[in-house]
Amino acid sequence: MLSFEVSTSGLEFDDVAQKLSGPMRQKLVEKLADIAWASAFWNAPTQTGYLASTVVKEVGDGEASINVLASYAMYVVKGTRPHVIRPVNASVLAFEAADGRLVFTHLVNHPGTKPNPFIQNAVDDARCKAEETFARLWLEMLS
């Protein structure tokens, strides 16, 4: 499982954010968590859609976390080096090739995968939109 936290610490307007009243601060954390969750969900690779379906948001008192529950999420985020794949529960591997043929083989030399930093991108999206989100909440509070 991958996890990251959403809070107001580390933002350029951190001093102001830390002094917010409880409800206002909570609302800011919730909005930033919504932004981060949506970014992670929509930018997760979608070959089957399973990875995106495991992006979950938990909001607590003054903090939130976004978790990716898929067991293979770390491999997507960090990528993989070239490696050999061998059958575990059978004598051969079977899969459909790109041209539609059914292939049977004893091993596959996998070329590896490039890292996909969709989680870091989600954090960056929330951070970029933090001041704008704060300003909107401030205006809502004043009106």
Backbone phi and psi for residue 127, each to the nearest 5 degrees, phi listed first: -65, -40
Q: What is the pTM of this model?
A: 0.77
pLDDT at res. 3: 66
- The Cα 100–Cα 45 span in angstroms is 22
Listed as ranges, residues in the chain with pLDDT below 50 are: none
- The Cα 15–Cα 97 span in angstroms is 56
Measured at the CA of 82, the angle between CA 81 and CA 86, to 5 degrees, comes to 120
pLDDT at res. 42: 96
Q: Identify the sign of the CA torsion 26, 56, 10, 32.
A: negative
pLDDT at res. 6: 57
User: What is the secondary structure of 52-89 as a DSSP string?
Assistant: HHTEEEEE-SS-EEEEE--TTHHHHHH-B--EEE--SS
pLDDT at res. 23: 84
Which residues partner with 93 through β-bridges? 105
pLDDT at res. 26: 87
pLDDT at res. 112: 97
Of 71, 74, 80, whose CA–CA distance to 118 is shortest?
74
First to last CA, the chain: 41
Contact 23, 44 (CB under 8 A): no
